[in-house]
Each structure stands twice: as C-alpha cells, then as structure tokens.
A and B are shown apart, each in its own frame.
Chain A
C-alpha cells in the first residue's frame, strides 16, 4: 500500500506542476504565433524548410525592434509544434496552440493531409490559420456547408488550377497522348490532383491508360508498375510527395519502363535529386517559385536564407516566409493583437507582394490567385522551364 501512496503522490505532484506551468504568464509585450510543421515523420525536409523560414521571418522582425502594432512595439514569440506527419497529432497540436499557448494565429501545416483536419478546428475556434503549401481545395472549404471558410487562408495556388495546368503541359508541351497516373490514396493532395488531371486530360481528348493507387507507407510498387508497363503509356503522372518519387521511378526503370515522368509541387525538394540520382534526370514538375528567375524581393530573401542556413530556400520556405509576411502586414493593419481583428485585416488585404509573386485574394476567398512555374530536372538540379498564368 505504501507503494501505491507514493505513486499517487507522484501523479498528484505532476498534475499540480502542470497546472502551475499552465498558469505562468509573461510580462513583456509579445505576440504569440503558432507554427504547425512536419518536423519529424515522412516529410522532414518540408518541416525543416518551414521552420527555417519561420525563424528567419521572426528574427528579421524582432531584430528590427519588434512589430509595430497600434503604436506599440511587440516581440514575436514563435511556438513551434511538430505534427510528425500524422493527421491526428496535427489536430492535437493545433488544439494545444489555440488553448494553451493562446496564439493569435497559426501558420501551417504544409501537407494537405495534415492541414485539412486542423483547419476545421481553426474555423470553429475562430483562429486565423494560414497554410503555406497545402494545395487541396478542401483546406479552405467548410466540409459541412461547402462555403469557403472564414478563418483559413493559404499562400499557394490550389489543385484545381494545378491539375489542369499539369494536364495541359503533359499533352501540349510534352506531346503525350497515352498517360498513366499513380497516386497515394491516403494523401489528399494526390487524390485531388489526380482527379482534376484526369478530367482535363479526357476533356482534351487524351487517354488515361492506367490509374493506379497505393497507400502511404508502401515501398513495393512492382505490382502497380507492372500493370502500368502493360498499358504502355507515353507519360506517367506522379502527383506524390518527394519521398516516394525516387523509389517509384527506380522500380519503374528496373522493370524496363521508358515513359516520361511528370510531377506536382510535392516534388519540390532537393532531397528528390539526392535520393533519385540519375533516375530522376529529365523529369518535370510544377512548383511555386524558381530561384533562377527571382524578383528583387525574392533575391533578398534567397540571400538572407542562404546566409543563415547555407542552402537555397525551396518552395515551402518561400511560401512560409510569405505567409509570415502577410500575417505581419495584417497585424499592423489591425492595430491590435486580437484574433478577430487580424483575421479581418487579412481578409480585406487585396494583394500582397511576396517572394513567390503577387498574391491576390478575391472577396470572401482564402485562396490567392497565383501563377505557377514548371521546373525541369537537368544535370542534377532543378532548372526553370516555363511560367503558367492562371
């Protein structure tokens, strides 16, 4: 029995210490902002880029003396949480950021599968959420009413646009007539993209010869790829995340497939080249910005990022930086550190000049109208190929 008492006591103490931790309040003028990123799990590069860009954005503001909101200077306090590329954890850390850390807004998550569940929480809790990289339309649409959400915005284009432009590029520029598709059925981004891609290809008179699926975590695609080989396509569309691409293309080559490969913005990471090596040479994919054709604003950002982290920022980093930029602008316009005010300010922001281009928001929509770029994998690097306007 003594042992039970000791254990009960430990439990009591721990609960009490948690209460005390929760009761601490800060005395200085700070604005709490939450960051929900994929730091561990299947997409760690995405999480790392996001975190780096976030830290850079916050540091720039804090070093300049803080953000000027309503006449007072505030330091930005960033609460970084890891969703570990698990959707339930994404929801749990969102709840934590909203209720325990009392953030005024949340930036992230990036992957659509991670962003859609917490977006519902943000909407019902009336907290502003900006996803830098989630392209699936469902992130900003309320699942119950079908209307755009009021509190969820994004910094990138959406998949109805991307799927269409990928289809056009495949058929018009790459001249493919027989196209195969393989996507991850557990990844919202891939599911949406394949649907819009297929619709457009068929509208344009093309032929989808194979429409294969796999589930997150699969490593062996020999079954699906053998089926695709049987269908003899000119091009294979892989709207999947960068971590699957090298394995899939390698297995395809091992089976003797010679088709061209086209990918989505999920490919946009140097890891893909590192992991894929020779096999990914000559492939194309869509992206949000290209360092080769950087505007002056973008060049400043690239230089700052390079100085801080010794690497060229990728899509996720650039979009995260823009998300923070928009958030800071909204805070300044709002004049006070209030969740509703900051949301209204962002909703009324007609356009924003960012690293990734001009973001224009239509009335009542959280989706910016943006152009996309197409990159080619040449000589072990991503090289700018073309721009596509909406």
Chain B
C-alpha cells in the first residue's frame, strides 16, 4: 500500500510542476540566466548521482547512454538537418572514434593513469574521425542527395570490413576488457560541450553558409559562400563529435566489435534526429531522450517492442514529417541578435499587415 501512495504523491507533484511550467513558459523561455542555472545544477547532479547512488546503477547507465545519443543526434543534425544532406554513415565515424580511443587507453596510455588520459583519448578519437570524414566529404562535392547517401553507406561498410580484417585490433570479434572510464560527469561535460560548439557553429557565418547550402547550392555559391570549405567544416565537425560519442560509448560498454557499428546503428541515429526534428538542437535532445527511454521502457514487451517502435515512427512521419520540433528551436539556444531580428520582422509584418488591411 505504501508504494501506491508514494506514486500518486509523486504524480501530483509532477502535474503541478507541469502546470506551473506551462503557465509561466513565456517568462521562463525569455529568461536566459535560467539556462546557466540549469547547467550548474546538472553538473552538480552528475557528480552527486554516482557518488551517493541517488538512482540505481542501471538507470545511471541509461542516463549516460542518453547523453551519448544526444551527442550523436545533434552532430548528425548538422549534416542531415542543417545542411539538408542525407548521410547514413554516422555509425562509421562513431566506430573510428571508439576504436582509436580504446586502442589508446588499452595499449598506449598506462592503465593506472587511465582516467587522467581519458579526455586525451576521447579527443584523439574525435580528431581521427574528423580526418576520416574528409574521405567522405570529397566525393560529396560532386554529388548530392541520394548519391551521398550511397557514399556514406559504402563508407560504413568499408569501416566495418576494414576493422574485421585487421586481426591486430580484434578483427570481427572485437576488443574486450576496455576500462570503464566513462563517468556521468564526463558524459555531462562532453554533451554540454558538443551542444555549445554546435549551437555556436550554426549561428555563426559558417553556419549560415550551411543553411544556405541546404536551400540552394548554386545560389549560395553565387553569393560567395565557399561551398567546399563549408562542406568540409560541416562534415568534420559532425564526425568529430560522432567520434567523441563513440569513444564514450566504448568506455561505457567496455566492449566494441564491428557489428555494433553497422547500418542498423546508423539508422537508429537517423531515427533519433528525424524523430526530434531536423534543424533543431532541442529537437535532437528530445529525439535522443525519447528514443533511448522508450526503448528501455518497452523492453518488457520483448519482441513487440521492435514491432511497435517502427509503427510509431511511420505514424509520426505521416502526421508530422519534420519531426516533433520541426524546424523550430528552443529559445534558450538562439542567440539574442537572432531573437531581436525575428522580433523586428514580426513587428514590421504587423505594421505592413495593418497598412494593407486598412
């Protein structure tokens, strides 16, 4: 009986929080400092939760997976959402990052100091992944759309079979016994860092170049946007964070093999991006969280889980083809100049509408 009572208490507390949020949303959304406050709270929590075991270990692992998936979804969003391409190869970059970082921590760095060298290993994984992405970026200059999809697909297969053929790094059987260096503070740090970097990239000049590429490549070239450089940058940034996510993943699961990074994984990441909303950072966060959590919750359903998920996806696509958030963005993530521009545009539109109406 005690359990049920606690549940309803929790639930009514949650409802009241939700109502409060809804009524005061405008105020909260416009209040920038709340974001920094949330960050501080989050950071403190990420230390507190593992230390005091506020939630059980398995849920801690889930939370870390959510963080990693957020990094993956947001980084893919750069290429698929903002640049409007169709890349199916994200798992390949993830694999590169995972393998490079695991090999470093297993063979190069002294294992007792592993936790000190861990950020180096993660960065190394990301850098190598970014370098490798140039291989994919070069063919993308000549082709677009579905051909790029094919190139990225071929790339995933190449990475997978390349790893399978190199016995020295475990071949098809993978690498076992990776140290568990991924902790919640690290995941939190890398998630926040990736979101910050990507958000700044999108609202910078380079980011505008990326957006213009999506709309019309030839026109943007006419407007003196350096398309090659922009494509390079977009791919490199996207793959860097994919590599970072891969490194974190490897040190959480403590085991990697080529089969983990196959097209099914790429499709999973794709689903997260399109579920949450293309061209929206808040959308990627939402998509990654919902996808990870939903998969875990539906686990007791066994096989039905994998039958329901795709059905839900199909329905979502039919009724909301641009994802839950669509192309909209959470106001905290948009820089002030941007918001002011929109405000001015809206005001002017009201004036011209009023003029034309009268």
Binding site for B on A (CB under 8 A): 1-9, 11-20, 22-24, 40, 82, 86-88, 91-92, 95-96, 99-100, 113, 116-117, 120-121, 124, 142-144, 185-186, 188, 191, 215-216
Known: A142-B177, A143-B177. 4 other contacts (CB 8 A): A22-B56, A91-B253, A91-B255, A99-B56
- Does A215 lie within 8 Å of B177, measured CB to CB? no
The complex places the Cα of A100 from the Cα of B11 at a distance, in Å, of: 24
CB distance from A280 to the nearest CB of B (A): 26
CB distance from B65 to the nearest CB of A (A): 9
The complex places the Cα of A178 from the Cα of B59 at a distance, in Å, of: 56
- Does A13 lie within 8 Å of B14, measured CB to CB? yes
23 intermolecular pairs with C-beta atoms under 8 Å apart:
A6-B18, A8-B18, A9-B21, A11-B286, A11-B289, A12-B17, A16-B14, A18-B62, A19-B59, A20-B3, A86-B259, A87-B259, A88-B253, A88-B260, A95-B58, A95-B61, A100-B58, A100-B59, A117-B254, A142-B177, A143-B177, A185-B172, A216-B259
- Does A7 lie within 8 Å of B324, measured CB to CB? yes
**Which 10 residue pairs spanning A and B have beta carbons closest together?**
A100-B58, A99-B57, A186-B172, A117-B255, A22-B56, A120-B177, A9-B18, A88-B260, A99-B58, A143-B177
Q: Do A20 and B7 form a contact, CB below 8 Å, given A86-B259, A186-B172?
A: yes
Q: Do A7 and B290 form a contact, CB below 8 Å, given A19-B59, A215-B164?
A: yes
Residue of B nearest to A13 (CB): B14
Counting chain B residues whose Cβ lies within 8 A of the other chain, the interface size class is 35 or more
Which chain A residues lie closer than 8 Å to B286 at the CB level? 4, 7, 11
Which chain B residues lie closer than 8 Å to A1 at the CB level? 25-26, 29
Is B173 interfacial (CB-CB < 8 Å)?
yes
Is B325 interfacial (CB-CB < 8 Å)?
yes
- Does B254 lie within 8 Å of A113, measured CB to CB? no
Tally of contacts, chain A with chain B, CB under 8 A: 119
Q: Do A99 and B61 form a contact, CB below 8 Å, given A7-B324, A9-B14, A40-B303?
A: yes
Q: Do A22 and B172 form a contact, CB below 8 Å, given A9-B14, A88-B257, A144-B177?
A: no
Interface string of B256-287 (1 = CB under 8 A from A): 11011000000000000000000000100010
CB distance from B234 to the nearest CB of A (A): 27
CB distance from A218 to the nearest CB of B (A): 12
Interface string of B49-70 (1 = CB under 8 A from A): 0000001111101100000000
Is B149 interfacial (CB-CB < 8 Å)?
no
Residue of A nearest to B255 (CB): A117
- Does A14 lie within 8 Å of B297, measured CB to CB? yes
Q: Do A186 and B260 form a contact, CB below 8 Å, given A7-B324, A91-B254?
A: no
- Does A24 lie within 8 Å of B297, measured CB to CB? no
The complex places the Cα of A95 from the Cα of B260 at a distance, in Å, of: 17
- Does B173 lie within 8 Å of A22, measured CB to CB? no
Q: Which of A87, A116, A142 gathers the greatest number of chain B CB atoms within 10 Å?
A: A87
